[in-house]
Chain A
């Protein structure tokens, strides 16, 4: 049974500031809740049983307003670094340094916690294609070579084509040609991509930043349809996490008098494909726990 933690607390203030202490508290509480309140160090050993480097794949495509917040990525990385001695490096990363900087990240290639994009000198993409059934892609060396464990730290958004962009679709940023994966509402492409070895063998945890949720006209930022939800979603099951994200978006749409994604003929069908491919669970077999902080 998939367990999904939906954490809620006043983390993002109206003026856009992040309450770091509360954020840290909520992240720790949520991680522990995934394992019935086991001690944090034990939890991290369960998630990352072997030592190695961790990649924290964030989404910075939409600029400062609607990207995975630096405070969330850095707080999480600090928690990992301080509580799991076997994690030698934590790399917060996305496609380009330009996008990272625009989203408010400071690039850092030294130390235990690093921040850089695939276009950094010495990084780049594989030269050998990784095939899905339908498309072939070159993986970022960060995903394929630099890391042993992967964490999708996505942002929750409505997406004009895919319906929802969250943890699974976040991995589009790990390949050189995401533009080729947008046909047919991204189905089966999101799911197929996540079955490839560089992702499937390394993915450990999904965390979705739903502090501010773009519930309509995504994936770009439109303040009119962005809601300060102050939620974070955690799950070891990447499909279940995204499914809960979808429900949040549909709830917000209903509240705003908008048709549901299914009514607009763009539900994230790729989640069912992902379930069929054994990546996780959708609505059935799911336990949702709320955590307040």
Chain B
């Protein structure tokens, strides 16, 4: 089955029936979820005296006593040993186009087996998936989906790529890394969609087992991170630099929220930083905000604001700038930065035309950075 036919037949396929859908235990009948959580020893933590531990996976570095859980809610100290409770416990599994992540310069037109567990190490007030990211694993329907089954399922559904996404994959790090390793042995690629809150050492290991990472850069000010994300900006910038300096593919998404992170100054600073520290060729997606979760008092981002951000980033010298969540906008497509030829035509998550020749513009031969075949 061709990819297009497949998507048509199964738009955003939920592979495991209704139980695969995010559904918090919200009503009277929905409960009695068996608390079958995993008890797999976590990686990247330090044992401390008196059965305390310090998690070293993300910059929060939660220090926890016996029986306590980290901020992400999915890792627990039990008698001085730290465990991940979500190893192989997926709460959302779908087949999505790679454009939905979004990756625009990484196997355009391919499909991914996309999965998530519960939990997140920040608390964005505009989270689209808060019903699975901001809950504990026992509060959401989940099912056993160990790494071997993920790989087998991806193959069964002809998905060449596994995507770790929807919530924050850093918090299900062990599950992600083991699945990616197994997937690679089976010829599958792995991509990660993350907020970039991860410490350098685990990030290094992650880079060695996956093929691409997309970072959601939520703003370019610490003030915004304090108020709307509850995280730190600097470690995210460091993570972006590290990924950019590695052999794997990187794309950046910036959700533009009216009045909060959309000023000309902020977009300029962001674009300059990306050009100087990451390079002009990293794809940058300005994505449209819709009122969500705890930020319902703001309107959707005006298209003109997104277009202004797009223009600023282009003027600052970034070569591949996109507008997202606006289906049909011309800035969804890829153009040659040198001669302006349309290279990849998109409509929403659909790719209708790929006009590259050996990874180059067919018109002026400019090499277009990305992973294409």
A residues contacting B by CB (< 8 A) are: 61-63, 96, 98, 119-127, 129, 131, 135-136, 138, 141, 160, 176-177, 179-180, 182-183, 217-222
Contact = CB atoms under 8 A, between A and B. Distances in A.
B139 interface: yes
Contacts of B72: 179
Contacts of B51: 220
27 contacts: A61-B67, A96-B35, A98-B35, A119-B138, A120-B32, A121-B32, A123-B31, A124-B27, A124-B28, A125-B24, A127-B24, A129-B293, A129-B294, A136-B293, A136-B294, A138-B24, A138-B26, A160-B52, A177-B136, A179-B136, A180-B73, A180-B230, A217-B65, A218-B65, A220-B65, A220-B68, A222-B50
Given A135-B123, A182-B71, A176 B28 contact: no
B25 interface: yes
A82 B30 CA distance: 35
A160 B63 contact: yes
Given A179-B69, A220-B65, A119 B33 contact: yes
Interface in B258-297: 293-294
Contacts of A61: 67
Given A62-B67, A177-B135, A222-B50, 14 more contacts: A61-B67, A98-B35, A122-B29, A125-B139, A127-B24, A127-B27, A160-B65, A176-B24, A179-B71, A183-B230, A217-B52, A218-B65, A219-B65, A221-B66
Contacts of B33: 119
A120 B135 CA distance: 17
Contacts of A125: 24-26, 139
Contacts of A124: 25-28, 30-31
Interface in B44-83: 50-52, 63-73
Contacts of B68: 219-220
B49 to A, nearest CB: 9
B134 interface: yes
Q: Which of B31, B65, B293 has the most CB of A within 10 A?
A: B65
Closest 4 CB pairs of A and B: A127-B26, A220-B66, A121-B32, A220-B65
Contacts of A127: 24, 26-27
Contacts of A177: 73, 134-136
A160 B49 CA distance: 14
A180 B138 CA distance: 16
Contacts of A131: 294
Q: Which of B32, B68, B136 has the most CB of A within 10 A?
A: B68
Interface of B: 24-33, 35, 50-52, 63-73, 123, 130, 134-136, 138-139, 230, 293-294
A180 B293 contact: no
A96 B32 CA distance: 11
Given A61-B67, A183-B230, A176 B294 contact: no
A2 B52 CA distance: 37
Nearest to B140: A176
B69 to A, nearest CB: 6
B294 to A, nearest CB: 5
Nearest to A63: B67
A198 B206 CA distance: 43
Given A177-B135, A217-B50, A122 B31 contact: yes
B70 to A, nearest CB: 7
Contacts of A183: 71, 230
Nearest to B77: A220
B83 to A, nearest CB: 15
Nearest to B64: A160
Contact of A119 (B31, B52, B293, B294): B31
A126 B135 CA distance: 13
Contacts of A176: 24, 135-136, 139
A179 B294 contact: no
Contacts of B64: 160
A182 to B, nearest CB: 6
B321 to A, nearest CB: 33
B65 A179 contact: no
Q: Which of B26, B52, B138 has the most CB of A within 10 A?
A: B26
Contacts of A122: 28-29, 31
A136 B64 CA distance: 23
Contacts of B24: 125, 127, 138, 176
